[in-house]
């Protein structure tokens, strides 16, 4: 018999298949390998960000700072490389370490001061976005050869090609799947999300695990910022505005419960692809405004949250 915890991810995968099939029947050229590759190319930074957010939500938290950290990363990269002549070999590891330390700080405040993650990460969001404008209020174009080559490099595949960003994103997805399901850290994250009090009683390292969850989210956000710089070839304080909401939506649509304790990285990848398919269908339609993307995603979120609620209520009923 099918385990109930697999139902959300199966529903998500089924929805992706139905939407892709509908687009293929309605639009000429929709059913092609390159359209699928383009979904990955255009959403690679969102995939990386959503992977980090998945761990946060599974642990029972939330991280609203991810979009601002991406913007700040693009600003730091662009400023140091273009205006100060630093080597990307130095700048990229530096911003990744910065992102991880920023996440560590948020996680430590959340745990040791017992403050709601929503409030702490909201403060982090304003802080990171504000630093962007201190650095510059203008767009900083990146012309460095390393970044332009990374942006222009294409990896040939059957039926088309992908970018370096896609490879980075898929490597992160595979690493996160291993981390979530085959390591002690992953098991601890699920345990804390299920019941932090029970995790404490079992002697699990709750403090270390919660802080590491936000450290990982900060690292993923910074890496997404590097990928976004490859994608846009610029640094700007308004980059990734509202991306934290798209990230949370992708994770929830991907089958991760907002209450924590249940979720899959693979489901998050599918959730991102569903958002991409919606955007692609609307662009193929031509007559619809891009705002319809937000409307459809909002409706899907309502459906999935209600679905999660029904599953949770049924699980409680079965236990009692």
* Residue 214 contacts residue 63 (beta carbons within 8 Å): yes
Cα–Cα dist 62/244, whole Å: 10
Cα–Cα dist 4/131, whole Å: 45
Please write the tens of the pLDDT for every residue from 34-87. 999 999 999 999 999 999 999 999 999 999 999 999 999 999 999 999 999 999
Q: What was the pLDDT predicted at 293?
A: 81
- Name which of 276, 150, 269, 168 is nearest 220 in CA terms: 168
Q: What was the pLDDT predicted at 182?
A: 96
The CA angle 160-247-5, to the nearest 5 degrees, is 95
Q: What was the pLDDT predicted at 287?
A: 67
User: Cβ contacts of residue 275 below 8 Å, gap of 6+?
Assistant: 43, 46, 246, 249, 250, 253, 293, 297
Q: Which domains are present in the chain? A: 4-314 (1.10.3470)
What proportion of the chain, given as a percentage, has pLDDT over 70? 95
Q: What was the pLDDT predicted at 4?
A: 67
Stretch (H or E) spanning 155 = strand 154-157
Handedness of CA 74, 228, 189, 196 (dihedral sign): positive
Per-residue pLDDT of the chain (320 residues), as tens digits, is 556 667 778 888 888 999 999 999 988 888 899 999 999 999 999 999 999 999 999 999 999 999 999 999 999 999 999 999 999 999 999 999 999 999 999 999 999 999 999 999 999 999 999 999 999 999 999 999 999 999 999 999 999 999 999 999 999 999 999 999 999 999 999 999 999 999 999 999 999 999 999 999 999 999 999 999 999 999 999 999 999 999 999 999 998 988 899 899 999 999 999 999 998 888 888 766 777 888 888 888 888 888 777 766 655 554 54
Q: What is the DSSP string of 210-231?
A: HHHHHHHHHHHHHHHHHHHHHH
Do you know the residue count of the chain?
Answer: 320
Cα–Cα dist 64/240, whole Å: 12
Mapped onto helix, strand or coil, the DSSP state of residue 205 is coil
């Amino acid at each position: 018999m099918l385990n109930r915890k697999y139902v959300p991810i199966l529903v998500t995968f089924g929805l992706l298949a139905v939407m892709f099939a509908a687009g293929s029947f309605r639009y000429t050229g929709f059913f092609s390998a390159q359209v699928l590759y383009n979904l990955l190319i255009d959403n690679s930074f969102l995939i990386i960000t959503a992977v980090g957010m998945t761990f946060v939500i599974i642990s029972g938290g939330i991280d609203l700072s991810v979009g601002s950290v991406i913007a700040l990363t693009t600003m730091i990269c662009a400023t140091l490389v273009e205006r100060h002549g630093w080597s990307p070999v130095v700048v990229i590891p530096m911003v990744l370490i910065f992102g991880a330390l920023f996440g560590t700080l948020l996680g430590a405040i959340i745990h040791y001061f017992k403050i709601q993650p929503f409030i702490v990460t909201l403060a982090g969001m304003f802080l990171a976005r504000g630093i962007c404008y201190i650095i510059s209020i203008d767009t900083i174009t990146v012309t460095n050869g390393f970044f332009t080559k990374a942006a222009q490099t294409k990896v040939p595949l059957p039926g088309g090609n992908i970018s370096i960003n896609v490879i980075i994103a898929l490597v992160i997805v595979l690493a996160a799947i291993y981390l979530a399901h085959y390591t002690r850290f992953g098991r601890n994250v699920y345990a804390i999300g299920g019941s932090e009090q029970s995790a404490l009683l079992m002697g699990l390292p709750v403090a270390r695990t919660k802080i590491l969850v936000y450290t990982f989210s900060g690292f993923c956000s910074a890496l997404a910022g590097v990928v976004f710089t490859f994608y846009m070839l610029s640094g700007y304080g308004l980059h990734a505005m509202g991306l934290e909401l798209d990230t949370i939506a992708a994770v929830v649509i991907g089958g991760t419960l907002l209450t924590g304790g249940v979720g899959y990285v693979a489901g998050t990848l599918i959730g991102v692809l569903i958002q991409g398919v919606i955007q692609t269908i609307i662009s193929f339609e031509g007559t619809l405004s891009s705002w319809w993307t937000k409307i459809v995603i909002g409706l899907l979120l309502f459906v999935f949250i209600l679905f999660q609620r029904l599953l949770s209520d049924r699980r409680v009923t079965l236990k009692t």
